[in-house]
Amino acid sequence: IRGPHTALDAPEVAAVDRRGRIVVANYLKGILIFAPGAHGDATPIATITSPKVIYGHLEGMTIDRQNDIWVTSYAEGKVMEFAPDANGAGPPKRVIGGKETQIDVPIGIGVDRRTGEIYVADYGTHAVLVFAADANGDVPPIRRFAGGFDYYVALK
């Protein structure tokens, strides 16, 4: 997928949903959704342009079993969930972020297809933070995995 009609300016991460649609987190154009099998100078069939997405510097993305689109906002230190048919500037279905979440610089995300738990890889805390399937807002993780090596301490 390449060309002026694609609206791609700086694609950061891509996934394919259960419908076969190609979902791309794009730096300044939001989340672009292309038809299954799209190629060449394809035009997106939907574009999620919520201001939090456009200016969020998206680093991680996954699609859950309900086909919802999950992205991490590196710049805002948040995780956002969008409905599969989201299009335009509407708000996310859910946002997980704030001091209690311990999210600092989220760069990766996964959703357990069996339990619905949300796994966030956080560069700032050097940890994987696990949130309950129904987590929303400024809530603490239910589990946290972290190694013994602290990159920032090692640099001092």
Instruction: Sort 125 into a burial class: Cβ within 10 Å, 0-12 / 13-18 / 19+.
Output: middle
pLDDT tens per residue across span 67-112: 999 999 988 899 999 999 999 998 999 999 999 999 999 999 999 9
Instruction: Sort 12 into a burial class: Cβ within 10 Å, 0-12 / 13-18 / 19+.
Output: middle
Matching residue, tokens 């696990």: 130
Q: Which residues of the chain have pLDDT under 50?
A: 152-156
pLDDT of residue 149: 56
pLDDT of residue 33: 97
pLDDT of residue 110: 96
Distance CA 96, CA 37 (A): 32
pLDDT of residue 27: 78
Distance CA 131, CA 92 (A): 17
- Percentage of the chain beyond pLDDT 90 is 76
94 in Cβ contact with 81 (< 8 Å): yes
Instruction: Sort 48 into a burial class: Cβ within 10 Å, 0-12 / 13-18 / 19+.
Output: buried
pLDDT of residue 154: 45
User: pTM for this one?
Assistant: 0.90
pLDDT of residue 29: 80
Report the DSSP beta bridge partners of residue 106: 122
Distance CA 87, CA 7 (A): 15
pLDDT of residue 150: 54
DSSP assignment letter at 99: G
